[in-house]
Amino acid sequence: MDITKIKNAEATHYMPVFARDSLVLERGEGNCVYDIDGNKYVDFVAGIATNVLGYNHPQYTEAVCNQVKKLMHVSNHYYTAIQSQYITRLCQASGFARVFLCNSGAEANECAIKLARRYFKNHGGDKTVLYAEGSFHGRTLATLTVTGNTAQHERYSPLPQGFDSFKYDDLDDFKRKLTNNVGAVILETIQGERGVRPFSKDFLVNAYELCKAKGVLFIVDEVQTGMGRTGKLFSFEHFGIKPDIITMAKAIAGGIPMGACLATEEVGTAFSRGDHGSTFGGNALACAAADKVLEILQDGLIDQSAKLGEYFGEKLAHLSKYDFVTDVRGLGLMRGIELADKVPASTFESKLRDKGYLVNVAGNNTLRLIPPLTITKQEIDGLIKALDDVCDEIRA
Ligand SMILES: *Cc1c(COP(=O)(O)O)cnc(C)c1O
């Protein structure tokens, strides 16, 4: 199939929601993807922080293929050994007692919101959920409502009720909004879609303590920051806090669609039979993939990526010497480079692509760097060199 045909089919038949790059990707190997003409790109997008093991990882591919041959899907009406093995591993690794498995980040957050509401019903009645301005939690109606994007809110009104927002990283505003009507708070420790924007440690720790004191549920969306991305299995571990609920997706099964909502015993048992469900959620194929991802992460990949993440941060920091680089931020292998308005991040993106590196643009003119956790020092050095070269070209 030629490239024009491929693009025409999408233009004709796909609902026109995506602004796509011109590349047509065909296969991947290690930390690289290849386009249809055979050009190779080192991948600092990784399917948006999803392909943590890169491409065609031997143990992962073997585990997935074996599971395909054995059993891919049966109803949650039945038990499977692989689901049981995975939820045991996940709960042990995370320290949470209860899990619900679904298929995406939005669904995981939808589950968290429903679980919180169900919990309020058992504890004195209806309460509201607070979310942060600038957040991204998904595209279902409820998760869109807790996503701090007012343009999107207008497009899809009327929205579900029972939500209110607070200003990003503003503890005074948070205190004002944390009224007795609030039952839960949802936030990302680092706002990924907004351009890798971290909350301060001070905000997170204080907001958490305030919630604890008031009996307000603290929900951390780890969809992008989870699974070793920031140098720990979950990003909340950096702050010495223990959320009541966390959500995951993206990297959880290394590229096979999956999401999870984890909760403490007390909160996770607010649901009872029939309260929630999913046809595909936690099916045998997704669990086999997720189980292998978690096993490999625990077998040293988190530690390795934590070290490389620090190295990556140090190397990137020196880019602030260019006057059009306005901020370099992030944690572990989740980094953002914000550029001055006069230098569009999309120009950077295409110049890097021409040099064999994929990066993407998130939030306000920010390049987002979220490679596989299997990325190597050489590949990082290569990207740094390419970034330096692009900066020099732009300065010239
Ligand atoms: C990507 C993302 C989501 C939504 O996940 P989907 O799988 O696209 O539904 C939710 N929260 C965060 C923080 C994300 O990065």
Distances (CA, A) of 27 to 4, 37, 55, 278: 19, 11, 8, 31
Confidence band for 77, pLDDT divided at 50, 70 and 90: very high
Contact 307, 294 (CB under 8 A): no
Greatest alpha-carbon span in the chain? 65
pLDDT (tens digit per residue) in 153-176: 999 999 999 999 999 999 999 999
Does any ligand 1 atom lie closer than 6 A to the CB of residue 193?
Answer: yes
Instruction: Give the mean model confidence (pLDDT) for residues 84-112.
Output: 98
Confidence band for 105, pLDDT divided at 50, 70 and 90: very high
The region, left, alpha or beta by phi > 0 then psi within -120 to 50, assigned to residue 122 is alpha
Residue burial 13-29, b: 16+ Cβ < 10 Å; e: rest: eeeeeeeeeeeeeeebe
Atom of ligand 1 nearest to the CA of 138: 4
Does any ligand 1 atom lie closer than 6 A to the CB of residue 134?
Answer: no
Atom of ligand 1 nearest to the CA of 135: 13
Give the count of beta carbons closer than 10 Å to the beta carbon of residue 159: 15
3-state secondary structure of 328: strand
3-state secondary structure of 103: coil
Distance CA 75, CA 71 (A): 11
Instruction: Give the mean model confidence (pLDDT) for residues 55-65.
Output: 98
Residue burial 187-220, b: 16+ Cβ < 10 Å; e: rest: bbbbbbbbbbbbbeeebbeebbebbeeeebbbbb
Query: What is the rounded average pLDDT for all residues in the chain?
Result: 97
Confidence band for 254, pLDDT divided at 50, 70 and 90: very high
Confidence band for 311, pLDDT divided at 50, 70 and 90: very high
What was the pLDDT predicted at 381? 98
CA of 124 to the centre of ligand 1 (A): 31
Does any ligand 1 atom lie closer than 6 A to the CB of residue 249?
Answer: yes
Give the phi and the psi of residue 37 in degrees, each rounded to 5. -90, 5
Instruction: Give the mean model confidence (pLDDT) for residues 247-272.
Output: 98
Residue 51's identity, in one-letter code, is N
Contact 383, 41 (CB under 8 A): no
What was the pLDDT predicted at 395? 86
Give the count of beta carbons closer than 10 Å to the beta carbon of residue 30: 18
What was the pLDDT predicted at 185? 98
DSSP state of 259: E
Q: Flag the least confident range among 105-109, 191-195, 392-396.
A: 392-396
What was the pLDDT predicted at 124? 84
What was the pLDDT predicted at 319? 96
What was the pLDDT predicted at 396? 81
Atom of ligand 1 nearest to the CA of 109: 10
DSSP state of 234: S
Q: Taking the CA atoms of 87, 92, 97 and 100 in sequence, report the sign of the dihedral they define.
A: negative
- Flag whether pLDDT at 1 surpasses 80: no
Across the beta sheet with 128-132, what order do the strands follow?
A: 98-102, 259-263, 245-248, 217-221, 182-187, 128-132, 163-166
Does any ligand 1 atom lie closer than 6 A to the CB of residue 104?
Answer: yes
Nearest residue by C-alpha to atom 8 in ligand 1: 105
Is pTM beyond 0.95? Reply is yes
- pLDDT above 70: percentage of residues in the chain: 100
What was the pLDDT predicted at 46? 98
Atom of ligand 1 nearest to the CA of 139: 9
- pLDDT above 90: percentage of residues in the chain: 98
Q: How many helices (H) and strands (E) does the chain have?
A: 14, 17
- Flag whether pLDDT at 106 surpasses 80: yes
Does any ligand 1 atom lie closer than 6 A to the CB of residue 137?
Answer: yes
Does any ligand 1 atom lie closer than 6 A to the CB of residue 188?
Answer: yes
